[in-house]
Structure 1
Amino acid sequence: MENNFFIYINLTEKNVDFQSYKYWFLLIDYYIKTANFIEFHVWNDEVETIEELSLKTNLEKIDLHPMKMVCFQGDINKNLINFISQESLNQNGDIKWFSLFLKCNGNCFFESSHWGSEINVENPDKNEIKMLKDMMPKNAVFNHFK
């Protein structure tokens, strides 16, 4: 992690428009174009989400026993992109997946964790950092580690 840009959004803070997760969908739309591989991490007790990923994607399912999680991973295709853009929110309007990782040629360059409240981008340039800051909710906290 030579150049790591980390963003935290407090999803419980009042008077902040994060519930639409507009920022999250903008990020996914932007970064998924560069990715060729994806991973979802879901807690074992999120049975509905696990079943949905099993039924609606062709991703490989891997049990992460020590972490009490399930990982779904595989190549990105148009059907998966459509699934993410249309079915990422649960019945309560929250992001379904605890973590989502986008990779290109084995290198993870984008991570969304804690149901979209933590975003990590590897090696962003100055223009990308400005774009990230402009699209985040007002309460976003930014940390740039070099």
Structure 2
Amino acid sequence: MQKNIIIYIPVYTEENSSFPKTVIGNYNYWLHVVDYFLRKSDCVEIHCWNEEKNIIEEIKSQFYPEIEIRKEDNLTIFHGKTTAAFSHYLCNSKTNKDGELKWFTVNLLKEESIVFHSSHWGTEIFVPDVIEKEISFIKSVSPKDAQMEIY
């Protein structure tokens, strides 16, 4: 039977910052889950805040015109096919110079349905329609203090 899983990663914020940092200090859990679900996806969608100009330019310079770029009120949204280059970018360029995840939201899609959703810079993850084997895998790579809801 398929279930949904939500994972909340323990975070803290430094003084004068609103950026959530993982208590464990890395995004290894995120990388493992993304790597697994990239293989099940055919599209990648990244959401960045418009003020994150360096990240927006980085994505544009590497993937435009192969990706669609859409601007909303405060967001720039990139949508493109899951290619080897895009997969490599997500898995190998995930953090900025401060070691923080670069992207506010990452969605992996299959035929326009979400197979993986990461928000709040990788500190909240939602994965729909997973089987017990996948739940066990996600649990095995998640931080021990992560909160999970499975339904």
TM-score (normalised: structure 1): 0.90
Distance 2:71 2:128 in 1: 26
2:26 equivalent to 1:37? no
Deviation at 1:16, TM superposition (A): 4.3
Tell me which residue corresponds to 1:112. 118
Distance 2:57 2:134 in 1: 35
Tell me which residue corresponds to 1:122. 128
Q: Does 113-122 or 78-87 show the bigger shift?
A: 78-87
Task: Give secondary structure in 2 for the equivalent of 1:122.
Answer: strand
Which residue, out of 72, 75, 82, partners 1:64? 72
Deviation at 1:105, TM superposition (A): 1.1
Distance 1:106 1:83 in 2: 21
Unaligned runs of 5+ in 2: 14-20
Go from structure 1 to structure 2 and tell me whether the alpha carbon gap of 1:60 and 1:132 turns closer, same or farther (over 3 Å shift): same
Question: % of aligned pairs identical?
Answer: 30
Tell me which residue corresponds to 2:17. none
Tell me which residue corresponds to 2:8. 8
TM-score (normalised: structure 2): 0.87
Q: Is the 8 A contact 2:3 2:150 kept in 1?
A: yes
One-letter code of the match for 2:7?
A: I
Unaligned runs of 5+ in 1: none
Go from structure 1 to structure 2 and tell me whether the alpha carbon gap of 1:15 and 1:112 turns closer, same or farther (over 3 Å shift): closer
Go from structure 1 to structure 2 and tell me whether the alpha carbon gap of 1:72 and 1:93 turns closer, same or farther (over 3 Å shift): same
Distance 2:23 2:91 in 1: 22
Task: Give secondary structure in 2 for the equivalent of 1:123.
Answer: strand
Q: Is the 8 A contact 1:6 1:118 kept in 2?
A: yes
- Alignment root-mean-square deviation, CA: 1.8
Over 4 Å off, 4+ runs? 13-16
Distance 1:16 1:116 in 2: 12
Q: Is the 8 A contact 1:16 1:138 kept in 2?
A: no
